[in-house]
């Protein structure tokens, strides 16, 4: 049974994941919803960790950079990388 409140859509973008200590990692997103997204990572992250995500969206033909605080909700190991599910907390 699906637990999500909002439908996820395919969303391929470069996403920068920034940890509290300033470590920045370039990732790729796979899908997006109003409340979260999934990103693909070569390195594991901790469930419950709060991070900042920076990525661009195109709204009405204009590129806009978003900075969103997120919480790591789950990490799944795939054959080639980690699939990381994040929940959005705050945007700037």
Q: What percent of the chain has pLDDT over 90?
A: 76
Q: State the pTM of this model.
A: 0.86
**Beta-bridge partner residues of 67:** 54
Q: Tell me the pLDDT tens digit for each residue of 9-61.
A: 899 999 999 998 889 999 999 999 989 999 999 998 999 999 999 999 988 88
Q: Which is nearest to 29 in space by CA: 89, 88, 87, 83?
A: 83
Mean pLDDT score of the chain: 91
Domains along the sequence of the chain with CATH = 9-91 (2.40.10.220)
DSSP state of 60: T
DSSP state of 20: T
- What is the spatial distance between Cα 13 and Cα 22, in angstroms, rounded to a whole number? 21
Q: Encoding tokens for residue 5?
A: 């409140």
> Which helix (H) or strand (E) segment is 28 a member of?
strand 24-32
- What is the spatial distance between Cα 63 and Cα 43, in angstroms, rounded to a whole number? 28
């Amino acid at each position: 049974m699906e637990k999500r409140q909002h439908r996820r859509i395919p969303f391929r973008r470069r996403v920068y994941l920034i940890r509290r200590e300033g470590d920045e990692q370039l990732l790729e997103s796979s899908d997006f919803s109003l409340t979260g997204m999934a990103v693909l990572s070569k390195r594991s992250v901790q469930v419950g960790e709060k991070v900042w995500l920076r990525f661009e969206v195109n709204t009405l033909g204009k590129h806009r950079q978003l900075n969103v605080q997120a919480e790591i909700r789950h990490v799944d190991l795939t054959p080639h990388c980690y699939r990381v599910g994040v929940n959005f907390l705050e945007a700037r």
